[in-house]
Amino acid sequence: MRKYKILILFSILLFLSHCVKKKADSGIPDNVLTVLLVNSILNSSTGPCTTTESIEPIPIGAWSPNGDVFQYSSIYPVTLNKTRPMVQVVLENLDSIPGGLFPLWYLDRNNPSTGFLNKDVATYIGFNTHTSMLPYAKDTSYATSPAVSISNTVDTSQPLGVDFNFEDPAGAKVTFVNSCRKLEIDESNFQTSTALSSTSGLNHFWNSEKKLNVNLIFVNGGNGPAYPIQTEQAIEVALNRWKENYAKSSVRIKLNVSVISADLSGYDMIFDLGTETGFPGSLGGLFQTTSFVGKPNALNVFIVREEIQYGGVLGVSGGIPGPATILGTKQSGIVVFVDAHRLYSNPGEVMTYDEQVLLGETLSHEAGHFLGLWHVTEAYGDSGSIADKDPLRDTPTCNSSNDINFNGIVDLNECLGGSGTNSGGRNMMFWSGAVGFTQGEITAEQGWILRLNPLVY
Ligand SMILES: [Zn+2]
């Protein structure tokens, strides 16, 4: 029973890690933008504080970073400081004009030679849809290639920038989502540290409690109901497990949960877990076509009975991160599959206590992805590459040398040691889980990233 990091499985893997872009200066100023929509949600006392802006990126040139030709836009300004501590960019192709797409960030927007690969693009390039964020970590030099240092905790922003690269930019859209929640003093002053043991970073205490709205959507259809009883109480054990994980002192996020049932014919059984397509039965289609049951100021969680593409996938997040506050993209939500959590109970029945606990771990894990957390170590283990592990310094990893049965993956029982390089199996963001095994460990830097997400207030 695996929480596959599904982005790796289905994305076209076009590695760019030896290829930092160098372009001629276009000479086109930043203000040559087509603004399609500017929308602000400034409501920080009762909900998330975010600003949202959509643009139509205008191609100004082409390059071939990996053998495929991408057209690139001019460099757009990005502001990061303690009153705007995190930014996401959501890149979307038209459904009818798919292709590879990715953002390239710049340490200095006035100097095109300062481009760097953020954690996401150092790992994969999206196809048809891609969401990225800055920062992915407190110590950004640990998260980028080449290593660059970015501060989001001071009063003024560095002259950061980002451009957008599309194989086919016709009709492409980019949405900027900026958090505007002012950082607390301890969040501004937070410093991460290297994981020396399996318990590094777990004892941190944040001074203030934050909130996250959660919109649970039971998906029903011809395949039957997602769950026999569709109330908060019916999956209380799972929800309590999730709430307990996020209430840890290293996180301190309170979940405000609401529940609805929806008849979403065609999506009660998922046969394609990709988010690059939008057709019925695909995950991308589920997220894209359900704006009417989604809530912009919440994490939207779809509870679906089963997937049949792989069998055994516990859950999937629309992205790392998923697009905060933006409904109707092919990445707008997370999904959990009820039947994959069953070991003792039968499909259609109420789940046992242990099965519900596992569901709670999956909800914690997929929400972690949506809010910007990567697996502490990917399934094939850590061999030192930026793509092998999360970009956080204080999380333990599991070196590939821990694969003692030589099956090519670091299994849960191979990552339960005591050092910072042979553990992580008990972390919420370990790549796999099991019935009867709890994984509620969350480090301070993981908590810092969760708290900075635009959805958290
Ligand atoms: Zn995962």
Determine the pLDDT at residue 35.
Answer: 34
Q: How far is the CA of 278 from the centre of ligand 1 (A)?
A: 22
Q: How far is the CA of 32 from the centre of ligand 1 (A)?
A: 38
Q: How far is the CA of 226 from the centre of ligand 1 (A)?
A: 22
247: in domain: no
Determine the pLDDT at residue 434.
Answer: 82
Q: Which residues of 101-125 are buried (b: 16+ CB within 10 A; e: fewer)?
A: bbbbbbbebeebebbbbbbbbbbbb
Q: How far is the CA of 355 from the centre of ligand 1 (A)?
A: 18
Q: How far is the CA of 98 from the centre of ligand 1 (A)?
A: 25
Residues making up the chain, counted from first to last: 457
Domain total of the chain: 1
Task: Return d(Cα 173, Cα 421) in angstroms, integer.
Answer: 41
224: in domain: no
Task: List, in sequence order, every residue forming a beta bridge with 21; answer none if it has no partner.
Answer: none
Determine the pLDDT at residue 33.
Answer: 31
Q: How far is the CA of 157 from the centre of ligand 1 (A)?
A: 32
Q: How far is the CA of 138 from the centre of ligand 1 (A)?
A: 21
- 45: exposed, middle or buried (Cβ count in 10 Å: 0-12, 13-18, 19+): exposed
132: in domain: yes
Q: How far is the CA of 91 from the centre of ligand 1 (A)?
A: 21
Q: How far is the CA of 354 from the centre of ligand 1 (A)?
A: 20
Task: Return d(Cα 442, Cα 421) in angstroms, integer.
Answer: 16
245: in domain: no
Q: How far is the CA of 429 from the centre of ligand 1 (A)?
A: 6
At 269, give phi and psi (nearest 5°): -140, 125
Q: How far is the CA of 285 from the centre of ligand 1 (A)?
A: 20
Q: How far is the CA of 400 from the centre of ligand 1 (A)?
A: 18
Closest Cα partner for 71 from 84, 82, 60, 79? 60
Q: How far is the CA of 60 from the centre of ligand 1 (A)?
A: 36
Question: If you compute the radius of gyration of the chain from its CA atoms, what whole number of angstroms results?
Answer: 21
Q: How far is the CA of 411 from the centre of ligand 1 (A)?
A: 14
Under 8 Å between Cβ of 121 and 20: no
Q: How far is the CA of 4 from the centre of ligand 1 (A)?
A: 6
Q: How far is the CA of 144 from the centre of ligand 1 (A)?
A: 20
Under 8 Å between Cβ of 82 and 182: yes
| Residue 348 burial (CB count, 10 A) | 13
Determine the pLDDT at residue 387.
Answer: 92
Q: How far is the CA of 364 from the centre of ligand 1 (A)?
A: 10
Task: Return d(Cα 8, Cα 382) in angstroms, integer.
Answer: 15
Sign of CA dihedral 143, 284, 243, 183: positive
Q: How far is the CA of 365 from the centre of ligand 1 (A)?
A: 6
Determine the pLDDT at residue 436.
Answer: 82
At 40, give phi and psi (nearest 5°): -125, 140
Q: How far is the CA of 6 from the centre of ligand 1 (A)?
A: 7
DSSP E strands in 140-197: the ranges are: 160-166, 173-179
57: in domain: yes
Beta-carbon contacts of 230 under 8 Å, excluding residues fewer than 6 positions away, are 218, 259, 261
Q: How far is the CA of 33 from the centre of ligand 1 (A)?
A: 36
Q: How far is the CA of 420 from the centre of ligand 1 (A)?
A: 20
Q: How far is the CA of 433 from the centre of ligand 1 (A)?
A: 10
Task: Return d(Cα 306, Cα 324) in angstroms, integer.
Answer: 25
Enumerate long-range contacts of 338-342, CB under 8 Å, 24 or more apart: 338/226, 338/227, 338/303, 338/304, 338/305, 338/306, 339/305, 339/306, 340/1, 340/306, 340/307, 340/311, 340/312, 340/313, 340/314, 341/1, 341/314, 341/435
Sheet holding 253-263, edge to edge: 253-263, 210-220, 299-304, 334-337, 315-317
Q: How far is the CA of 361 from the centre of ligand 1 (A)?
A: 11
Determine the pLDDT at residue 277.
Answer: 86
The pair of three-digit structure tokens given for residue 129, joined into one six-digit string: 């849809």
Determine the pLDDT at residue 40.
Answer: 47
Task: List, in sequence order, every residue forming a beta bridge with 50; answer none if it has no partner.
Answer: 41, 179
176: in domain: yes
93: in domain: yes
Q: How far is the CA of 323 from the centre of ligand 1 (A)?
A: 17
Task: Return d(Cα 98, Cα 138) in angstroms, integer.
Answer: 34
Task: Return d(Cα 237, Cα 36) in angstroms, integer.
Answer: 44
- Which residue range(s) make up the domain with 26? 10-186
Q: How far is the CA of 22 from the centre of ligand 1 (A)?
A: 33
Q: How far is the CA of 294 from the centre of ligand 1 (A)?
A: 22
Q: How far is the CA of 377 from the centre of ligand 1 (A)?
A: 10
Q: How far is the CA of 453 from the centre of ligand 1 (A)?
A: 18
Counting DSSP H helices and E strands in the chain, the numbers are: 7, 19
Task: Return d(Cα 5, Cα 370) in angstroms, integer.
Answer: 12
87: in domain: yes
Q: How far is the CA of 40 from the centre of ligand 1 (A)?
A: 31
Q: How far is the CA of 431 from the centre of ligand 1 (A)?
A: 5
Q: How far is the CA of 229 from the centre of ligand 1 (A)?
A: 27
Determine the pLDDT at residue 45.
Answer: 60
* Per-residue tens of pLDDT for the chain, all 457 residues: 234 333 232 233 333 333 333 343 333 333 333 333 344 444 546 799 999 999 999 999 999 998 899 999 999 999 999 999 999 999 999 999 989 999 999 999 999 999 999 999 999 999 999 999 999 999 999 999 999 999 999 999 999 999 999 999 999 999 999 999 999 999 999 999 999 999 999 999 999 999 999 999 999 999 889 999 999 999 999 999 999 999 999 999 999 999 999 999 999 999 999 998 889 999 999 999 999 999 999 999 999 999 999 988 999 999 999 999 999 999 999 999 999 999 999 999 999 999 999 999 999 999 999 999 999 999 999 999 999 999 999 999 999 999 999 999 999 999 999 999 999 999 999 998 888 888 999 999 999 999 999 999 9
Determine the pLDDT at residue 230.
Answer: 98
